[in-house]
Chain A
Amino acid sequence: MDVVKLQKQLVDYRASLYHEAFLDEQFTQLQELQDENNPDFVVEVVSLFFEDSERLLNELAKALEQQSIDFKRVDAHVHQLKGSSSSIGAQRVQKVCITFRNYCEEQNVEGCLKCLQQVKHEYSLVKTKLETMFKILAAGGSIPM
Chain B
Amino acid sequence: MGMAAESQFHVLAVDDSIIDRKLIERLLKTSSYQVTTVDSGSKALEFLGLHEDDTTNPSTPCVSPNNHQEVEVNLVITDYCMPGMTGYDLLKKIKESSSLRDIPVVIMSSENVPSRISRCLEEGAEEFFLKPVRLSDLNKLRPHLMKTKSKDQHQKQEKQEEKSAFQSPKQQQQEKEEHQQQQQASNNKRKAIEEGLSPERTRPRYNGITTVV
- A: residues with CB less than 8 A from B are 26, 29-30, 32-33, 38, 41, 44-45, 48-49, 52, 76, 79-80, 82-84, 86-89
Identify the closest chain A residue to B27 (Cβ).
Answer: A33
Main secondary structure of the interface of B (DSSP, over half): helix
Q: A87 contacts B20, CB within 8 Å?
A: yes
Residues B16-37 near A (CB distance < 8 A): 17-20, 22-23, 26-27, 30
Q: Does B131 lie at the interface of the complex (its beta carbon under 8 Å from any beta carbon of A)? A: yes
Shortest Cβ distance from residue B28 to the other chain A in the assembled complex, whole angstroms: 11
Q: B26 contacts A29, CB within 8 Å?
A: no
Q: A86 contacts B132, CB within 8 Å?
A: yes
Which of A29, A49, A76 contacts B19, CB < 8 Å? A49
Residues from chain B with a CB closer than 8 A to the CB of A49 are: 19
Main secondary structure of the interface of A (DSSP, over half): helix
Q: Does B81 lie at the interface of the complex (its beta carbon under 8 Å from any beta carbon of A)? A: yes
Q: Does B101 lie at the interface of the complex (its beta carbon under 8 Å from any beta carbon of A)? A: no
A76 to B81, CA, bound (A): 10
Q: Does B134 lie at the interface of the complex (its beta carbon under 8 Å from any beta carbon of A)? A: yes
Q: B26 contacts A83, CB within 8 Å?
A: no
Beyond A41-B26, A45-B22, A87-B132: 11 further Cβ-contacts under 8 Å?
Answer: A26-B132, A45-B19, A45-B23, A48-B18, A48-B19, A52-B19, A82-B110, A83-B17, A83-B20, A84-B20, A87-B23
A102 to B101, CA, bound (A): 38
Residues from chain B with a CB closer than 8 A to the CB of A87 are: 17, 19-20, 23, 131-132
The answer to whether residues A83 and B131 also contact, given A44-B22, A48-B18 and a CB cut-off of 8 A, is: yes
A82 to B23, CA, bound (A): 15
The answer to whether residues A29 and B22 also contact, given A79-B81, A84-B17, A86-B110 and a CB cut-off of 8 A, is: no
Shortest Cβ distance from residue B133 to the other chain A in the assembled complex, whole angstroms: 9
Listed residue (A49, A76, A84) with the most chain B CB atoms within 10 angstroms of its CB: A84
A58 to B135, CA, bound (A): 33
Identify the closest chain A residue to B16 (Cβ).
Answer: A80
Identify the closest chain B residue to A84 (Cβ).
Answer: B19
Q: A52 contacts B18, CB within 8 Å?
A: yes
Q: A80 contacts B17, CB within 8 Å?
A: yes
A39 to B7, CA, bound (A): 21
Q: B134 contacts A88, CB within 8 Å?
A: no
Identify the closest chain A residue to B26 (Cβ).
Answer: A33
Shortest Cβ distance from residue B78 to the other chain A in the assembled complex, whole angstroms: 14
A83 to B81, CA, bound (A): 10
A86 to B18, CA, bound (A): 13
Residues B109-133 near A (CB distance < 8 A): 110, 131-132
Shortest Cβ distance from residue B25 to the other chain A in the assembled complex, whole angstroms: 10
- The 7 nearest A-B residue pairs measured at CB: A84-B19, A87-B132, A33-B26, A83-B110, A48-B19, A26-B132, A87-B19
